[in-house]
A and B are shown apart, each in its own frame.
Chain A
Amino acid sequence: MLMADHEMKTTAPDTGLRIRTEVKAQGVTAAPPRGGEPDIVCRNVNLSYGDNHVLHDITMDVDDRRVTALIGPSGCGKSTLLRCFNRMNDLIDDVRVWGEIKVKGLDINAPITDVIEVRRRVGMVFQKSNPFPKSIYENVVYGLRIAGINDKAILDEACERSLGGAALWDEVKDRLDESALALSGGQMQRVCIARAIAVEPEIILMDEPCSALDPIATLKIEELIFQLKEKYTIVIVTHNLQQAARVSDKTAFFWLGRLVEFGPTAEMFTAPKDKLTEDYITGRFG
């Protein structure tokens, strides 16, 4: 274990890749208790595409190792905010973000911040599963390979751990060399989750991860979310209100780019405080 860590550090000295097994090898296995500092802190976050002001003064905290659901009608800004958390909006022209977003204390929009490191720490799973046209194995270890890790023992270990973490290991362990594109939709989505957790992120962003899946595959992903939150902070955008109610600890309701209400999920779905929230979740608009 120690040797593996040593090798890893020598093969990937400059990527900033910090694998948690390294910490474990030093005997510090216990994660800090939950409920301390929030993982993501947003203060007056605004975003515009050109002249189009899309997010208005979003202020919210995302709790450590909890599931936070972002809900709201199409175009309310929930996915845009999600993409702010790992700077995926950088890929769009003419975007301007102001206000403060801190991930584990790191100001992710600061000029000196390494965006690759941000995206390593804040993984993402998309609506449509996007496996690469490669084997299951290569899909999962892709992030490690581009970080310069080629040691087969490390990659094997990461592959098994990640597929296990994505509740897929038992289904694919005998065919890791087969193309990921041959899997079912639900399995492909779990490959993508495995790929996201292979690089040991701290936060996983999910943008409607189940909207292209059938009910059974959806339930599997939801079960997986329950397991994942033991180790990771999860922010999920979903149009499925029942899903938000089932999987999340806190729910944030957005409307026209504003955060209308943010609170414990159980309260939001039984006794929302705001009339807009009430009308949205009872299906009276949206």
Chain B
Amino acid sequence: MERHHFEAELQNLRNQLLTMGGLVEERVHRAVHALMHRKEEDAQRIIVTDKEVNDLQMDIDNRCLRLLATQTPLAVDLRLITSAMKINADLERIGDQAVNIAESVLVLIPHPPLKPLVDIPRMAAIAEKMIRDALDGFVRNDAALAREVLRRDDEVDALKDQIFRELLTYMMADPGTIQRALALILIGRNLERIADHATNIAEDVIFIAEAKDVRHHAESGGQKP
């Protein structure tokens, strides 16, 4: 017995999640681009169009619920659908972080640049690649690629700490920089959260592919402090 209809539904679900992933990844990219090139209009547009992401999120959740209710999925199908709901939530949060970045950009634009930005674009590039690879891993059912994503999370964390330390020196030297420095620290924090969401997605990909729960550093033995 082939389940053509069910297979098609699962493929639709995968495609919709990919659309969602592409959408939020692009928004992160545009938010950082708006920061680097001081584009107020671009930042505004990210904020007002967040609804697209939210609508897609609800649509995907509905689809998952319907499949759970009508198809009683088991084994890999069950793991796929329940994980899709979690991935969906992580993607939506990534979209929210793009909005947060855009809001900080609007705070920064009226003022002269505090410093040339080096670490933030690096961090953004890694975080975006993490989202992309997590989703590629999802499409190809590739746990090895997902594990690669997990490893890169530490790089992003280190960059965030570095940004914080550097901006702290600016704030101590001149309180007039505090507003701009804080906005940049927040952006660093937003990018770090985006990488965390990508990590969650990668963990779900491993769960779908191998039925192993690798959250909370279960694979390297125990919780990270």
Q: Which residues of A contact B (CB under 8 A)?
A: 241-242, 245, 269-272, 277-278, 281-286
Contacts and interface: CB of A to CB of B under 8 A. Distances in A.
27 contacts: A241-B74, A242-B72, A245-B74, A269-B74, A269-B75, A269-B78, A270-B75, A270-B78, A270-B79, A270-B211, A271-B75, A271-B79, A271-B211, A277-B75, A278-B75, A278-B76, A281-B74, A281-B75, A282-B3, A282-B74, A282-B76, A283-B3, A283-B6, A284-B1, A284-B2, A285-B1, A286-B1
Contact of B3 (A241, A271, A284): A284
B77 interface: yes
Nearest to B7: A284
Contacts of A285: 1
B121 interface: no
Nearest to B78: A270
Contacts of B77: 282
Contacts of A271: 75, 79, 211
Interface in B73-100: 73-79
3 tightest CB-CB pairs across the interface, nearest first? A271-B211, A281-B74, A283-B3
Contacts of A269: 74-75, 78
A278 B76 CA distance: 7
Of B2, B3, B72, B75, chain A has the most CB atoms within 10 Å of the CB of B75
Contacts, number: 34
B71 to A, nearest CB: 9
A122 B72 CA distance: 33
B75 to A, nearest CB: 5
Contacts of B76: 278, 282
A281 B75 CA distance: 7
A211 to B, nearest CB: 17
A242 B76 CA distance: 15
Contacts of A270: 74-75, 78-79, 211
Contacts of A242: 72
Nearest to A242: B72
B75 A282 contact: yes
B196 to A, nearest CB: 25
Nearest to B212: A271
A285 B75 CA distance: 14
A179 B3 CA distance: 45
Interface in B1-47: 1-3, 6
B79 A282 contact: no
A68 to B, nearest CB: 18
Nearest to A245: B74
Contacts of B78: 269-270
Nearest to B207: A271
A55 to B, nearest CB: 24
B211 A282 contact: no
A241 B1 CA distance: 15
B120 to A, nearest CB: 41
B79 A283 contact: no
Nearest to B6: A283
A270 B77 CA distance: 9
A278 B77 CA distance: 10
A274 to B, nearest CB: 11
A282 B1 contact: no
A225 B211 CA distance: 29
Nearest to B71: A283
A281 B78 CA distance: 11
A218 to B, nearest CB: 15
B133 to A, nearest CB: 24
A277 B78 CA distance: 14
A277 B74 CA distance: 11
A269 to B, nearest CB: 5
A228 B205 CA distance: 40
Contacts of A281: 74-75
Contacts of A245: 74
A245 B74 CA distance: 10
A32 B168 CA distance: 68
Nearest to A268: B75
A285 B1 CA distance: 5
B11 to A, nearest CB: 14
A177 B78 CA distance: 49
B48 to A, nearest CB: 42
B9 to A, nearest CB: 13
A285 B2 CA distance: 7
Given A269-B78, A278-B75, 12 more contacts: A270-B79, A270-B211, A271-B211, A278-B76, A281-B75, A282-B3, A282-B73, A282-B75, A282-B77, A283-B3, A284-B3, A285-B1
